[in-house]
A = this chain, B = another copy of it.
């Protein structure tokens, strides 16, 4: 016991196991993670900064996984691809979404991706004092749809009579198909209006 000659743990091993645990759908926590790694919970604190640290680690990992973003193309192609990439990540690890939501972003890769988005919008012609607002909107949209993927099959569960909601729910496609369609529709709407706004600004 005590200190082994070759370390049992490493930041990478912890991140891998954490993502696996999250994806398995079992409740996530440092104790559960330690069990999965065959180790004592306190061991993790030699490598990682507690629960929040592990979550931030996953955010970084799962955004690196998403791979290279489009580097050239029109600004709206870049925006669309960035959002689609983010959505793919959320789709691959839906259970991670509720964990990362509302925590300050410090991971360098994630920061870099937002930085690139900001530069792109600025170069496209959006004014300085509007770029961050546009990004906040894109972010709200992406995270909202991320949560949509993490949500239970039934978002609404009407108990009694409804005027139209019940019928539409019954008729509509379910699960990922519904979510995918809504995402693409929303993306189209958002880009349309951004294009229009930019045209007016540049005119």
By a beta-carbon cutoff of 8 Å, the part of chain A in contact with chain B is: 97-98, 101-106, 108, 111-112, 114-116, 118-119, 122, 128-134, 136-137, 139-145, 147-148, 150-152, 154-160, 162-165, 168-169, 171-172, 178-179, 181-182, 185-186, 188-190, 192-194, 196-197
Contacts and interface: CB of A to CB of B under 8 A. Distances in A.
Given A162-B111, A168-B118, A193-B192, A185 B134 contact: yes
Contact of A185 (B101, B133, B181): B133
A106 to B, nearest CB: 5
A35 B143 CA distance: 34
A102 B190 contact: no
Nearest to A197: B189
A157 B105 contact: yes
A107 to B, nearest CB: 9
Given A144-B139, A189-B197, A194-B189, A115 B152 contact: no
A152 B104 CA distance: 6
Report, nearest first, the 5 A-B pairs whose CB atoms are least far apart: A140-B144, A144-B144, A189-B193, A137-B186, A136-B182
A155 B190 CA distance: 22
Contact of A190 (B112, B142, B158, B189): B189
A193 B186 CA distance: 10
26 contacts: A105-B155, A105-B157, A108-B160, A111-B156, A111-B162, A111-B165, A114-B156, A114-B165, A115-B162, A115-B164, A118-B163, A118-B165, A119-B164, A122-B164, A129-B171, A131-B164, A133-B186, A134-B182, A134-B185, A136-B178, A140-B140, A140-B148, A140-B186, A142-B144, A144-B144, A189-B190
B162 A104 contact: no
Nearest to A98: B102
Contacts of A179: 136
A13 to B, nearest CB: 24
